[in-house]
Amino acid sequence: MNTTYLYLLVFAILVGGTDIEVNLASVQNSVPYGEYVSILLGLAALKAALIAMFYQHLKYEPRSLSTWVLVGLVMASLLMSLSFIQLHIGH
C-alpha cells in the first residue's frame, strides 16, 4: 500500500477510535464502571500503538529498538501497578 494511503488509513482509525470513546461516555451509566474504564484505556492503548507503529515507524524498525521502547512502558506500568497494590490490596 502507498505510504500516504496507509497514513491516512491510520488517521481515520484514530479519529474513529476517538469517536467511539466519546460516544462511550454518553452511555457510561449503562456499563459497569470498571469495564468502562478498561475499554477506554484499552482504546487509548490501541491508538497509541498505532501511532507508535506507523507514524513513529516502530513496526519497521529493528526489534531491538521496539524492545527498548517497551522496556520504558513496562517500567512505568510497574510503578503504577505496585503503587495500586499498596493502596488497594491486602489491607
Partner 1 sequence: MSNEIVPARARRWLFTTNHKEVGILYLVTSLFFFVAAGLLALTFRSQLSVPNNNLLSPDLYNQFVTVHGLLMIFWVLSPFAFGFANYILPLQIGARDLAFPRLNAMSYWFYLFSGVAMIMSFFFGSAPDLGWTLYSPQTSAQYTPSIGLNIGAAALILIVVSITMSSVNFLVTMFKMRAPGMKLRHMPVFPWAILITIFMMLYAFPSFLAAVLLLYVDRAFGTFYFSSIQGGALLWDNVFWFFGHPEVYIVLFPALGLIADVIPTFARRPLYGSKYIIGSMIAAAIISFIVWGHHMFVTGIGVTSTKLYTVTTIAVSLPFDVMVIAMIETLVKARVKLKAASLFALGAVALFVIGGITGVYLASVALDHALRGTYFVVAHFHYIMVGGSIMGLIAGLYYWFPKFTGRMYHENVARIHFGLSFIGFNILYFPQFLLLDMPRRIATYSASTGWGPLNFTSTIGGFIFGGAQVLLFLNLFLSQRRGSPSGPNPWDAWTLEWSLPSPPPPHDFDTVPTIAEDGTYHFGNGQGYPNGSRIGNGYAHSHLEGLSPWPIVMAFAAFIFFLGLTIGQPTSPTPVSYKPFWPLIFDGAILGVISLYGYTREKFSVHEESRVESWPFKEVPNVKLGIWTFLGAEVIFFGVLIGAYFFVRTNSPTWPAVGSLFTIRNGFAMTLILLTSSLTAIMALVSAKIGSRNGLIASLLGTFGLGVAFLYVKAGEWIELGSSGVFSVANGLPATSYFITTGTHGVHVFAGMAMTIYLLANTFKGRYLKGDYHAIEHFGLYWHFVDIVWVFLFPLFYLI
Q: Does 75 bind partner 1 (CB under 8 A)?
A: yes
Residue 52 DSSP code: I
Helices (H) and strands (E) in the chain, counts: 3, 0
Q: Kindly determine how many residues on this chain lie close enough to bind partner 1 according to the rule CB under 8 A.
A: 51
Q: Does 44 bind partner 1 (CB under 8 A)?
A: yes
User: Crossing angle of helices 33-50/3-26, nearest 10°?
Assistant: 170
- List the grid coordinates of 36: 468502562
Q: Does 31 bind partner 1 (CB under 8 A)?
A: no
| E strand residue ranges, 4-77 | none
* Residues of this chain that bind partner 1 (CB under 8 A): 3-4, 7-8, 11, 14-15, 18, 21-22, 24-25, 28, 36-37, 40-41, 43-44, 47-48, 51-52, 54-56, 61-62, 64-65, 68-69, 71-73, 75-80, 82-91
